[in-house]
Amino acid sequence: MAYGFCSLRPTLTSLFSSLAPTLHWRSSSLPISRALSASTVPMSSSSFTWDDVLQIGRKESASTQNPSSDLTEFLAKIDRCNRGSEKLAEFIPFVVDEQIVGYIHKGFTEYLREFHDIFTFSKNGSVSVVGGDYVTLNLMFEKPEDRTRAVAGVIKILGDKGIIPGIRNELCPVKPSFHAPAVFSLERAAAPYFGLKGYGVQMNGYVERDGQKSLWIGKRSLTKPTYPGMLDHLVAGGLPHGISCGDNLVKECEEEAGISKVIADRAIPVGAVSYMDIDQYCFKRDVLFCYDLKLSEDFVPINQDGEVESFKLIPVAQVANVIRETGFFKANCSLVIIDFLFRHGFIRPESSGYLDLYRSLRNGDCS
């Protein structure tokens, strides 16, 4: 997620209309007013310490003992990843090879119009698009590698101007769905500005001792360009171009927690969560592939790439309380951990709003 990078303010507004048949946010009947007012800790903060985390986690309450007792705060965290449905009509499709691969804000297209030899703006063309308008690439770029080079030059210019901040020099595939072939590759920091489908892996590393499950939680380095100092999974990472989910997880395990391939290969794929979030010019349409890895009681993670400040092993019920009461976690981590709570029986069907919360974990197009 790159909320902090979406600093441009949109200049065009309109009623939700033209994209509604294509993209859908699921809404829930759970009341969220209590969720939004119950937290006593700021919703977005990276200045906290592990002592703060543990103190809140251990806070005595009915919900600490039973994370299933009140689900409204969990819903508020999921809603945090699914903002802006009313702004869908401010975006137009990005089309390549007669397939919709993304959505671009009308305001942001003004920057792209300067590169008329790269981008083409069409209306009522051969592609069936609600509303008629869409952005595509010049037809002279027939091969994926040609498109990648051409668009990379545009992204570099926009990055140098600060229009697309946080360039990572890491490519992600551009494609209409997960198993479709990539039509080209794009700088990862630019992906939200083109409304691409994004994919990543996130792993719950847990330990079971005396019948109690605990999760290893990481605290991101203060030097990270995104979400510095916030809580994160033991292992997580975006899915770059040309690597499988399993191989990417093994790579991230070694880099982020010093977990060997022999151990990482034991991680179990357990499904996926998804969300759609609009923040000014950025449109995130992400799918996170979830993994569980049961670790030995004597395991201690050691970060290798400098991106994690430290780790703590925290009982699952206390982790649930931290998610419920604070904004300490990087926002999309909450979805994966709430999914863990469902699968490991911490959230039960007897709870009011159980199915609403479960459905909200897979918002939008999970393809």
1 found inside a domain: no
- Answer yes or no: is 23 within a domain: no
- The domain boundary, picked from 194, 216, 245, lies at 194
- pLDDT higher for 4 or 301? 301
The Cα 283–Cα 54 span in angstroms is: 34
CATH code, 319: 3.90.79.10
Assess if residue 26 is contained within a domain: no
Last residue of some domain: 151, 171, 194? 194
User: Residues 218, 341: one domain?
Assistant: yes
**In this structure, is the dihedral angle defined by the CA atoms of residues 157, 162, 163 and 166, taken in order, positive or negative?**
positive
Residues 357 and 224 placed together within one structural domain of the fold: yes
**pLDDT for res 17:** 39
State whether 329 and 213 are in the same domain: yes
Given a cut of 70, whether residue 186 has pLDDT beyond it is yes
Residue 2 binned pLDDT confidence (cut-offs 50, 70, 90): very low
Q: Which residues contact 34 (CB under 8 A, 6 or more apart)?
A: 72, 73
Residue-wise pLDDT for 272-316, tens only, equals 999 999 999 999 999 999 999 999 999 999 999 999 999 999 999
Task: Please say whether the beta carbons of 8 and 108 come within 8 A.
Answer: yes
Residue 245 lies in a domain: yes
- 35 pLDDT higher than 70: no
Tell me the torsion sign for CA atoms 262, 207, 286, 176. positive
Domain boundary (151, 170, 194) is at 194
Distance, in Å, from the CA atom of 7 to the CA atom of 304, rounded to the nearest integer, reads 31
Q: Please, what is the Cα angle at 44 between 201 and 220, to 5 degrees? A: 45
- Condensed to tens digits (0 to 9), the pLDDT of residues 230-257 reads 999 999 999 998 899 999 999 999 999 9
Confidence category of residue 157, pLDDT binned at 50, 70, 90: very high
Q: Are both 235 and 335 inside the same structural domain?
A: yes
| 363 phi, psi to nearest 5 deg | -90, 130
Does 350 lie in the same domain as 249?
A: yes
Same domain, 224 and 326: yes
Share of the chain above pLDDT 90, in %: 76
Q: Which amino acid is at 349?
A: P
Whole-angstrom distance, CA of residue 238 vs CA of residue 245: 9
Are 221 and 200 in contact by the 8 Å Cβ rule? The answer is no
For all residues of the chain together, what is the average pLDDT? 86
Report pLDDT for 23: 63
Whole-number pLDDT of residue 250: 98
Q: Are 300 and 258 in contact (CB under 8 A)?
A: no
For the ranges 64-68, 182-186, 305-309, the lowest mean pLDDT is seen at 64-68
**Mean pLDDT to the nearest integer, 148-152:** 98
pLDDT in tens, 189-233: 999 999 999 999 999 999 999 999 999 999 999 998 889 999 999
Q: Among the ranges 24-28, 29-33, 257-261, which has the highest mean pLDDT value?
A: 257-261
Q: Is 27 domain-assigned?
A: no
What letter would DSSP give residue 10?
P
The three-class DSSP label of residue 319 is: helix
CA–CA separation, 252 and 268 (whole Å):
15
Query: Does the structure show a pLDDT above 50 at 44?
Result: no
The two three-digit tokens of residue 112, written as one number? 């792209």
Q: What's the pLDDT at 8? A: 39
- Which domain, by its residues, includes 350? 50-59+67-84+198-361
| Separation between Cα atoms, residue 2 and residue 206, nearest integer Å | 27
Q: What is the CATH number of the domain that holds 157?
A: 3.30.750.160
Assigned domain for 34 exists:
no
pLDDT > 70 fraction of the chain, expressed in percent and rounded: 82
Residue 365 has pLDDT above 90, yes or no: no
Q: Average pLDDT of 123-133?
A: 60
Q: In this structure, what token pair is assigned to residue 43? A: 């919703």
Which of 329, 327, 326, 325 is closest to 312 using CA atoms? 329
Q: Is residue 40 predicted with pLDDT exceeding 60?
A: no
- 326 and 273 in one domain? yes
Residues 203 and 327 occupy one common structural domain: yes
Q: Are residues 71 and 215 in the same domain?
A: yes
Q: Quick one: pLDDT band at residue 131, thresholds 50, 70, 90?
A: low
- 60 falls in which pLDDT band (50, 70, 90)? low
Residue 30 lies in a domain: no
Q: How many domains does the chain have?
A: 2
Q: What is the average pLDDT across 3-24?
A: 40
- Cβ atoms 102, 194 nearer than 8 A: yes
pLDDT at 7: 40
Is residue 226 assigned to a domain?
yes
Fill in the DSSP letter of residue 135.
Answer: E
Task: Give pairs for 169-175: CB < 8 Å, separation 24+.
Answer: 170/238, 170/240, 171/240, 171/241, 172/196, 172/198, 172/199, 172/238, 172/239, 172/240, 172/241, 173/239, 173/241, 173/242, 174/96, 174/101, 174/102, 175/101
Dist CA 214 CA 315 (whole Å)? 4
Contacts of 170 (CB under 8 A, 6+ apart): 187, 188, 238, 240
pLDDT at 5 over 60: no
Alpha-helical runs (H) found in 196-304: 245-257, 261-264
Whether residues 116 and 126 fall in one domain: yes
Predicted local distance difference test score (pLDDT) of residue 367: 82
The predicted pLDDT at position 11 comes to 31
Question: 244 and 264 share a domain?
Answer: yes
249 shares a domain with 169: no
Model confidence at 12: pLDDT above 80: no
| pLDDT-wise least confident of 113-127, 296-310, 337-351 | 113-127
Q: Are 199 and 272 in contact (CB under 8 A)?
A: no
Percent helix, percent strand, percent coil in the chain, to nearest 5: 30, 25, 45
